[in-house]
Structure 1
Amino acid sequence: MTTEPISSRRADTRRNRERILATAERALAESGEISFNAIAKAAGVGVGTMYRHFPTSEALVLAVYEAEVRNLIEIVPTLIETHPPQEAFRVWVTDHLAHYMATKRGLGDALRAAATGAEVYNRAYDEVTVALAALLRVNAEAGTVRPDLNPRTVMRGLGGLLLLDPNEDQGAQIADLTDLLWRGMATP
């Protein structure tokens, strides 16, 4: 009998978890429903593996949501390092925040059922607002936006991403909203 090194098993466990989360994210964004059997099959894992990682559907929904928030926050330093400030803001909004908002819209009912109180939402809102504040700060330093912008006010404006018409071109709607907000934030 051969035994697999612990680091290989941990890496496999991490990959399984990541595949489950990615598959669950797609399922929730599309239908807003969780089927452990369907997600396990699509992720290429057994149902037992699903339950080892996520003992309840609520745990899975919260893990998907928390992973989305973490991805949205963790990308900001990379965008700031690799793009001019204005472009970093636009890329974050169009490529990352819009995706997060679409996922959040798809997760709506499942999140309400899974979340215990407003704690999860409030923590995520605060963390995303801090990430946005970093983008606004580098833009203010570059002179592209007014230095007096309140990140919470800008977040409320970006909340319009939740109201996109699914029957129209999503990319065009996101660009229009981003352009509108940018004109309001730009230095005179």
Structure 2
Amino acid sequence: MMKLRLIAMVLAAAPLWPNQSHAEIFHRETIFDFRTVSIAYDALVCGIWVANESNEIVLLSTFGKELRRFDTGMSSVRSLTVEENGLLIANGWGEFRRVARDGRAIDAPFRLSETLFDTEGLHRDADGSFLVVEDDPSRLLRVAPDGSVLMELFGDNFTPPMIEPQGVTRDPYSKTSAY
């Protein structure tokens, strides 16, 4: 009887498989005292880097297991993005720093651009430029590697308005930005 039920359930689900275009998300684990503010997928290590509004960042497996945790040397990390040699992190007050995947500082803290102060989201684009969101003022910027602002859009001018954006990324398939 059990075998027949299992076969019936598999057959009932089978018509969904060929045209399935959604992902199912399951809650597997809760990490207490963990306030995620920024995430970035790193294909080199097949993991997800997480900034949790502290001085540390964490590398999680794609199944949510903690693989690595290290102190960044900054008082707080509000956003991060993956680069070829490691990570670029931002404290949310205009200061940035590059760190290796093992936590070693690659350089001293610096300003990516003189116009950035309240960075809440950061994404390194394929051309080397950065997509950056700030929540006060609410804006989306494209910043060249040399710090010059290539594009600036104010969220208050959108319909509906973009209020306090908290992150930015680019869909690797459609190449569309999301914030």
TM-score, structure 2 length as denominator?
0.21
Higher helix share: 1
